[in-house]
Amino acid sequence: MTLTDRQQLSYIASQAADARLNVELETEGMTLNIGPQHPATHGTLRIIARLDGEQVVWAEPVAGYMHRGYEKLTEVRTFPQVTSLINRIDWLGSFANEVPFILAAEKLMEIEAPPRAQVIRTILFELSRIANVSLFLGDLGVQMGAITPVFLAFRDREYILNLIEGATGGRFHPNFDRIGGLKDDLPKGWIQETKGAVKKLEEFCDTIDDLLFGNEIFQSRMRGIGVIPADIAKDYGLSGANARASGIDWDLRRDQDLPLSYDLADWKVWTHPDGDSWARCWIRLQETRESCKIVGQLLDQIPAGPVMTKVPRIIKVPEGEAWVATENPLGEMGYYVVSKGDLGPFRVKIRSASFNNISIVPWALKGVYVPDIITILASLYFILGDIDR
Amino acid sequence: MAQLSDDTQTPQGDTAPAALPGDGLREGIVDTLRNDIGEALLDTLLKPNDDLWVRVSTESWLATGQALKAAGFTYFCFLSAIDWMPSPFGNSQDDPDDEPKQIDMTIKQGYTGGETRMQVFARLTDIDRHVGITVKADVADDNQVVDSWSQLFAGANWHERECHEMFGIGFNNHPDLRNMYLPGDFEGYPLKKDFPLLARMVKPWPGIVDVEPMPDFEEAADAPAAEAPAGAIEGAES
């Protein structure tokens, strides 16, 4: 059926009238549902966004598709068994999850790991940060349609994962940290290999700096988008690179006294005054470089000695409460451990970084345009297991 | 206070960090808080070189948050609750074939004491002075409601939702106490101690074997736990 000119004109006129009416009455808008299965959500996070035209007027993340109840499960485990659970909170940097819990248990028992174990712990901690954040840097490109960086990231992260596997026996879930020290010493030749891998990761950072951060499209999609001021960031409890990108000079590696060996290395805490998506990504790039520096320096300073202090075979942790937080790849991760003198903890409150970091999404997405939803989410950087626990 | 200098404000982070906090700073914080909320500050605990705990009355929960925020604790870390009742199901670590153990059900609160089974607790950090504080408050057994901090710290919103869902504690003036994880019609509060962990009820934990005393336990406890293997001290300084 062909339309006459008159019919076509009347159709156009009616559309125009509708458009005018919509402007005057404010459109009803639409609801855009992102996820739970969307590449930008790194797993199963669902974002509900109500739109007015191209603008978000209201947005809310829906978590809980992966809630595993770790806080309940820790109450029926012994202290050494808990590490195999909490490994799986932030699965990209899993060794880093074990450290604060073990430190909290050690604090309650009033013991400290031997110096050699402390340095190796710090090295493995920073290696898991590199493994975690390098994948973030590669993934950034994918969020904007650039495929190449993610292949580079997966290729170079493999060097780090191989090292972690070489030292601990597990690629993703090392379960290597013990109350009082480490399970084993480093294998022979590991230190030399690590030095080589760290060099490769430094080259990777330079490549990403050129390829992504120097890219005009990347900059225009990131600069000035999703700005979070410092006071809002503190209000929501943003931590890690997200806080430092808002100009908050706060790094738990430097600003608290823990039995880890960060003071042996010469490194720097980067902050950025802008608070936009670009700043958050840039801080993470600089942090990966700093981590490479820390690892490189600590490898030359591993003292001799045992890797395990004297602990009883059956570990009973004395009654008390302890809070230990460390600067994990995603931000401040802490455990509030309550012990009643039993084999297992009485209550463990897991404060994970992503839970707070993603609770700012309703605030941060208000008023942004639809394509920016993805880049803001990507720059806030969350791991699903770290939100849901 | 002398520690309150503005030197810690380093937007580019290239100056040296401020000194780590001493216990004198923590004592000053307790004094400031006592000035602000007076009698409502029920108990304090200062562990030297470690941390600071305070317990306040339920009615002054919100006032405490306001006073601490005004005193510089602007960084919201977390908020949650503790159920101090011992679990009637034990720790599920015992052999199911043994006689069931008698469980002592007396409720004993932790640091800074308390009178009720449930307590809410929160942690705030002062980023400029590098010091943190753990605040606790009792939650009455017959009326499990406290004031919400969500107007004070925006981040408390989600933590209170989680706390409500897991412990059944209500928060006055909270904008939206929906469940975060569980279905809306879920019954019970999973993190309460009297909520059974059903997976353990149907199948005993295979990890039981880990906590059985080993036959040579007495000797093993006397010997050093682990020695560094001889070949593995490569790269050592000395």
* Residue numbers of A between 336 and 365 with CB closer than 8 Å to B: 336, 338, 340, 342-344, 347, 349, 351, 355-356, 359-360, 363
Q: What angle do CA B106, A107, A340 make, to 5 degrees?
A: 10
Q: What is the homologous superfamily of the domain B2-196 according to CATH?
A: NADH:ubiquinone oxidoreductase Nqo5 subunit (3.30.460.80)
Does the distance separating the beta carbons of B76 and A234 come in below 8 Å?
yes
Is residue B214 within 8 Å of A313, Cβ to Cβ?
yes
Query: Chain A to chain B, count of Cβ pairs less than 8 Å apart?
Result: 194
Q: How far is CA A278 from CA A203, A224, A230, A271, B222, in A?
A: 21, 8, 15, 12, 56
pLDDT tier for residue A129 given thresholds of 50, 70 and 90: very high
Percent over 70 (pLDDT), chain A: 95
CATH architecture of the domain with range A70-388: Orthogonal Bundle (1.10)
Handedness of CA B191, B193, B198, B199 (dihedral sign): positive
> What is the reported pLDDT for A338?
92
Optimal mutation site among B192, B193, B214, B234, interface A, most CBs of chain A within 10 A: B234
> What is the reported pLDDT for A19?
67
Among A19-33, A336-350, B128-142, name the one with the lowest average pLDDT. Answer: A19-33
Does the distance separating the beta carbons of B123 and A351 come in below 8 Å?
yes
Structure confidence by residue, pLDDT tens digits, B145-165: 898 898 888 889 899 999 998
Q: Which two tokens stand for residue A251?
A: 């790094």
Which residues from A are below 8 Å from B220, CB to CB?
313
User: What's the average model confidence in pLDDT over A343-367?
Assistant: 89
> What is the reported pLDDT for A285?
92
Cβ neighbours of B230 (radius 10 Å): 6
Judge whether B213 is closer than 8 Å to chain A, CB to CB.
Answer: yes
> What is the reported pLDDT for B238?
38
User: What's the average model confidence in pLDDT over B77-94?
Assistant: 81
Among A132-141, A262-271, B4-13, B41-50, name the one with the lowest average pLDDT. Answer: B4-13
Residue in chain A nearest B18 by alpha carbon: A255
Q: A117: number of CA atoms within 13 Å, CB side? A: 25
Does the distance separating the beta carbons of A299 and B75 come in below 8 Å?
no
Q: What burial class does residue A261 get, using C-beta atoms within 10 Å of its C-beta: 0-12 exposed, 13-18 middle, 19+ buried? A: buried
Examine the pLDDT at B90 and tell me if it is beyond 80: no
Exposure letters A247-259 (e unless 16+ CB within 10 A, then b)? bbbbbbbbbbebb
| pLDDT greater at residue A63 or residue B225 | A63
pTM of the predicted protein model = 0.82
> What is the reported pLDDT for A211?
86
Examine the pLDDT at A23 and tell me if it is beyond 80: no
Does the distance separating the beta carbons of A71 and B237 come in below 8 Å?
no
Judge whether A307 is closer than 8 Å to chain B, CB to CB.
Answer: yes
Optimal mutation site among B51, B211, B218, interface A, most CBs of chain A within 10 A: B211
| pLDDT greater at residue B171 or residue A8 | B171
Judge whether A300 is closer than 8 Å to chain B, CB to CB.
Answer: yes
The single-letter code of the amino acid at A334 is G
User: What's the average model confidence in pLDDT over A13-21?
Assistant: 68
Domain boundaries, chain A: 70-388
Which residues from B are below 8 Å from A322, CB to CB?
50-51
Q: CA A170, CA B203: separation in Å to the nearest integer?
A: 28
pLDDT tier for residue A40 given thresholds of 50, 70 and 90: low
| pLDDT greater at residue A20 or residue A313 | A313
> What is the reported pLDDT for B80?
92
Does the distance separating the beta carbons of B226 and A307 come in below 8 Å?
yes
Distance from CA of B59 to the nearest CA of A (A): 23
Which residue among A78, A80, A237 sits closest to B77, beta carbon to beta carbon?
Answer: A237
CA B118 to chain centre: 13
Judge whether B228 is closer than 8 Å to chain A, CB to CB.
Answer: yes
pLDDT tier for residue B15 given thresholds of 50, 70 and 90: very low
What lies within 8 Å, CB to CB, of B230 at 6+ separation is none
